[in-house]
């Protein structure tokens, strides 16, 4: 009997534990909804690197046209009219060199399309040379600037007006936004002399509008402390120079229109106050020179050069450079001796050293399996192309390019004449990383900046709780006299807390702490500044402050629960007694 009653009381306790919580209300945090967007940050905390490529903007044309916007950038920044691009001085090879900091023999991309010379040598007599054919993605074998930037959490945008330049995004197609000009905008063949001038302007304007919309899209990220990379490609005046000529009045007029569009981009950056946080690069990928359409060395056969009398194939590279692939490398000396006598030969480079050659492929950064066994540099007005043209590029004659640096993050100093290979390493330094495999150099033209991160603990706090903020920073270059500041703004953008501490070292961590007396969503801004108060970098995050909800003790619900408990108690006590009596009566 005692055991049975003990079981009853145990059951009573369990029921009480189940029923009583029904009458309780947890003391939980009351969340608040954000009442509005805080727009108190007016100075961008992040940074922007922007590269604008004007295809085939040769220095002669630039000196002839009226370009007030480029002139203004040149007066404020650093301008070089004698920079150089790679060989071939052609669009695809130059752009890949630009975004890798490497020559074609390292990055693999010798042209838009080529042949694998090793594969060609191995083909059987009845096999087509097309089996050795490769394109730019087949050749690419190193990472590009957009790829490395994405690996370092940098926003990447590519605005391009030639589809082959998607190669700049690399094998992983690294871009947050990649915009390629639609076919309906081009609507025709810009290589043709009859292509309407207003359509050329449409192509240019599309690039400008796409660039400005991308800047606007990335703006909030940069404002709050993120970094971004933007690469912009104008296809003109490449098309018009081939169709009409280098110094044709319409060519000059189009360059002047491009200048106005560059002004639109710079004005947008200044309007958003991004210019102070921008490193701006403007350059051409190659030059351009006039030729005589009647002196085309490939006018009859686009796969062979009539001056070469052994089995071979050729691949043009924009007109002034020709890749010659020999079926049998033992005939290399014989072919060079033949070519050496012609007036249209400017330079001859070969896979290995032979007499009468200018040098080897290694001398011009083209020593890989995709370049020809012979690389022929042609003297204009001669050229070698499958296309009719009054102007071409590709060789040493069009290797000189203009190169301009500007923007608030430019640190002007005396440097050697830069090349196209120096751009990617210089931009990489801006972001605090290095380019793998780069043979170009960081020019040291970017001001030191800081990458900043903030962690709040707790991120959602109660009124009066101590909130700790850890600000971590890394500088891209050493600078003395830096300080870390933290400011907290309420939903009206009014500062409710600010503090500043001196810091040292190229990287480090700073701790701030405070408590907040009112509920709400608060903007926390952490900034690293130099000794003059200029922003090196910063970060913005939100925190939420809530209050503990005070709930009156639920007397009514507790009374109900106790009543239920009493009823169950009575049942549990009386029922066993009655059952026990009945059992005893039966036993008697």
Is 133's pLDDT higher than 70? Answer: yes
What's the pLDDT at 459? 85
Q: Residue holding tokens 């370049």? A: 371
Strands 133-135 and 155-160: unpaired
Closest of 294, 287, 226 to residue 47, by C-alpha: 226
**Predicted confidence band of residue 576 (pLDDT cuts 50, 70, 90):** low
What's the pLDDT at 544? 94
pLDDT tens digit string along 494-533?
999 999 999 988 999 999 999 999 999 999 999 999 999 8
What's the pLDDT at 562? 61
What's the pLDDT at 581? 59
pLDDT tens digit string along 200-234?
999 999 999 999 999 999 999 999 999 999 999 99
Dihedral sign (CA 463, 512, 408, 399): negative
What's the pLDDT at 477? 87
Q: In DSSP terms, which residues pair with 391 in a beta bridge? A: 290
What's the pLDDT at 166? 97
Name the DSSP class of 124. Answer: -
Q: What is the 3-state secondary structure (H, E, C) of 324-357?
A: EEECCHHHHHHHHHHHCCCCCEEEEEECCCCCCC
Is 154's pLDDT higher than 80? Answer: yes
Is 167's pLDDT higher than 80? Answer: yes
Q: In DSSP terms, which residues pair with 231 in a beta bridge? A: 51, 158
Closest of 296, 297, 328, 300 to residue 312, by C-alpha: 328
With beta carbons less than 8 A apart as the criterion, state whether 165 and 91 touch.
yes
What's the pLDDT at 408? 96
CA distance 277 to 535: 9
Is 588's pLDDT higher than 90? Answer: no
Closest of 115, 93, 113, 95 to residue 104, by C-alpha: 93
Is 162's pLDDT higher than 70? Answer: yes
What's the pLDDT at 5? 45
DSSP for 494-560, written as a single string: -EEEEEEEE--SSEEEEEEEEE--S-EEEEEEEEEE-TTS-EEEEEEEEEEEEEEPP----HHHHHH
Cα of first residue to Cα of last residue in the chain, in angstroms, is: 17
pLDDT tens digit string along 72-108?
999 999 999 999 999 999 999 999 999 999 999 999 9
Is 285's pLDDT higher than 60? Answer: yes
CA distance 96 to 505: 36
Token pair listed for 212:
């400005």
Helix (H, G, I), strand (E, B) or coil at 14: helix
What's the pLDDT at 560? 59
What's the pLDDT at 28? 35
CA distance 362 to 356: 16
CA distance 246 to 387: 17
Q: How many CA atoms lie within 13 A of 466 on its CB side?
A: 4
**Predicted confidence band of residue 246 (pLDDT cuts 50, 70, 90):** very high
Sheet containing strand 359-360, strands side by side:
312-316, 321-326, 374-378, 345-350, 359-360
Strands 227-234 and 155-160: parallel
Residues 6+ apart with CB under 8 A from 491: 34, 35, 36, 38, 520, 521, 522
Angle at 324 between CA 319 and CA 329, to 5 degrees: 165
CA distance 225 to 290: 48
Is 144's pLDDT higher than 80? Answer: yes
pLDDT tens digit string along 19-67?
334 343 333 333 333 333 334 456 899 999 999 999 999 999 999 999 9
CA distance 188 to 184: 9
Radius of gyration of the chain (CA): 36
Is 151's pLDDT higher than 70? Answer: yes
pLDDT mean across residues, the chain: 89
With beta carbons less than 8 A apart as the criterion, state whether 509 and 471 touch.
yes
Q: Would you mind telling me the total number of residues written for the chain in this entry?
A: 588
Name the DSSP class of 364. Answer: G
What's the pLDDT at 548? 77
What's the pLDDT at 140? 98
Angle at 18 between CA 15 and CA 21, to 5 degrees: 135
Q: Pick left, alpha or beta for residue 216 (phi over 0 → left; psi -120 to 50 → alpha; otherwise beta).
A: alpha
**Alpha-helical runs (H) found in 340-447:** 423-431
Largest Cα span, the chain: 136
What's the pLDDT at 187? 94
Inter-axis angle of helices 423-431 and 91-100, nearest 10: 30
Q: In DSSP terms, which residues pair with 400 in a beta bridge? A: 84
- State the DSSP H helix or E strand holding residue 282, giving kind and residue range, or none if neither: strand 278-283
């Amino acid at each position: 009997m005692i055991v049975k009653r003990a079981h009853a009381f145990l059951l009573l306790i369990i029921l009480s534990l189940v029923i009583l919580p029904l009458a309780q209300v947890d003391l939980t945090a009351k969340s608040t909804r954000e009442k509005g967007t805080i727009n108190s940050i007016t100075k961008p905390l992040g940074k922007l690197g922007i590269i604008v490529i004007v295809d085939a903007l040769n220095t002669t044309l630039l000196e002839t046209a009226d370009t007030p916007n480029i002139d203004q950038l040149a007066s404020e920044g650093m301008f070089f009219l004698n920079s150089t691009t790679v060989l071939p001085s052609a669009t695809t090879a130059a752009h890949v060199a630009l975004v890798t900091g490497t020559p074609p023999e390292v990055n693999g991309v010798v042209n838009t399309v080529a042949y694998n010379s090793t594969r060609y040598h191995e083909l059987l007599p009845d096999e087509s040379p097309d089996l050795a054919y490769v394109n730019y993605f087949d050749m690419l074998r190193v990472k590009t600037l957009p790829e490395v930037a994405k690996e370092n959490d940098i926003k990447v945008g590519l605005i391009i007006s030639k589809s082959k330049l998607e190669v700049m995004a690399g094998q992983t197609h690294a871009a947050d936004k990649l915009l390629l000009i639609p076919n309906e905008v081009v609507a025709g063949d810009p290589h043709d002399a009859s292509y309407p001038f207003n359509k050329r302007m449409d192509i240019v304007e599309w690039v400008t509008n796409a660039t400005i919309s991308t800047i606007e899209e990335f703006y909030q990220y940069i404002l709050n402390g993120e970094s971004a990379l933007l690469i912009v490609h104008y296809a003109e005046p490449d098309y018009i120079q081939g169709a009409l000529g280098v110094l044709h009045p319409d060519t000059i007029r189009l360059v002047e229109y491009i200048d106005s569009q560059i002004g639109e981009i710079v004005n947008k950056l200044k309007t958003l106050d991004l210019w102070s946080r921008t490193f701006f690069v403007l350059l051409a990928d190659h030059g351009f020179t006039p030729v005589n359409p009647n002196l085309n060395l490939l006018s009859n056969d686009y796969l062979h050069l009539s001056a070469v009398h052994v089995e071979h194939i050729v691949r043009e590279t924009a007109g002034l450079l020709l890749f010659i692939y020999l079926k049998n490398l033992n005939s290399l000396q014989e072919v060079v001796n033949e070519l050496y006598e012609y007036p249209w030969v400017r330079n001859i480079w070969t896979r290995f050293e032979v007499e009468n050659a200018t040098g080897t492929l290694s001398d011009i950064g083209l020593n890989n399996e995709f370049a020809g066994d012979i690389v022929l540099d042609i003297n204009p007005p001669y050229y070698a192309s499958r296309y009719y043209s009054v102007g071409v590029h590709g060789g040493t004659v069009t290797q000189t390019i203009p190169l301009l640096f500007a923007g608030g993050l430019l640190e002007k100093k005396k440097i050697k004449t830069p090349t196209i290979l120096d751009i990617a390493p210089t931009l990489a330094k801006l972001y605090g990383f290095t380019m793998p495999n780069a043979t170009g150099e960081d020019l040291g033209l970017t001001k030191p900046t800081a990458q900043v991160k903030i962690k709040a603990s707790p991120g959602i706090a109660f009124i009066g709780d101590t909130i700790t903020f850890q600000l971590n920073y890394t500088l891209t270059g050493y600078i003395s006299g830096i300080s870390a500041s933290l400011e907290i703004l309420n939903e009206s953008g009014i500062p409710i807390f600010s503090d500043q501490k001196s810091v040292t070292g190229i990287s480090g961590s700073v701790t701030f702490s405070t408590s907040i007396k009112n509920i709400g969503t608060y903007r926390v801004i952490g900034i690293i500044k130099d000794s003059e108060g200029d922003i090196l970098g910063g970060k913005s995050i939100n925190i939420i402050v809530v209050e503990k909800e005070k709930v009156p003790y639920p007397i009514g619900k507790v009374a109900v629960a106790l009543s239920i408990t009493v009823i169950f108690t009575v049942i549990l006590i009386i029922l066993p007694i009655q059952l026990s009596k009945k059992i005893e009566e039966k036993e008697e």
